[in-house]
Amino acid sequence: MSTGPDTAPADTVSAVRPFLLTSGRVAVESTLPAETQVVATTEGLGALGSLAFEHRAIIEACRAPLSLAEVAARLRLHLNVVRVLAGDLKNTRHLTVHAPQPDMSSDVDVLRRVIDGLRAIPTSTGSGSVPASEKD
Partner 1 sequence: MNTDTYTDSYSIRPPMPVKMVIAGGFGVGKTTAVASVSEIEPLTTEAAITEVATGIDDTSMTPHKTTTTVALDFGCVTLDPTLKLYLFGTPGQDRFGFMWDDVTEGALGALVVVDSRRLDDCFPAVDYFERKAMPFAVAVNIFDGSLAYPLSAVREALDVDAEVPVVSFDARSATSVRDSLVVVLELALTRAATAAAAAAAC
* Contact footprint for partner 1 (CB under 8 A): 11, 18, 30, 33-43, 64-65, 67, 69-70, 72-74, 77-80, 90, 93, 96-102, 104-108, 110-121, 123-124, 126-127, 130-136
Among residues 73, 88, 90, 89, which one has the least CA distance to residue 34? Answer: 73
DSSP single-letter state for residue 100: P
C-beta closer to partner 1: residue 52 or 118: 118
Shortest CB 54 distance to partner 1, Å? 14
Do 95 and 65 contact (CB within 8 A), yes or no?
A: no
C-beta closer to partner 1: residue 8 or 41: 41
| Neighbour tally for 62: CB within 10 Å | 24
C-beta closer to partner 1: residue 4 or 128: 128
How far are the Cα atoms of 40, 61, 80, 105, 115 from residue 89, in angstroms, in the given order? 9, 13, 14, 29, 34
Shortest CB 50 distance to partner 1, Å? 18
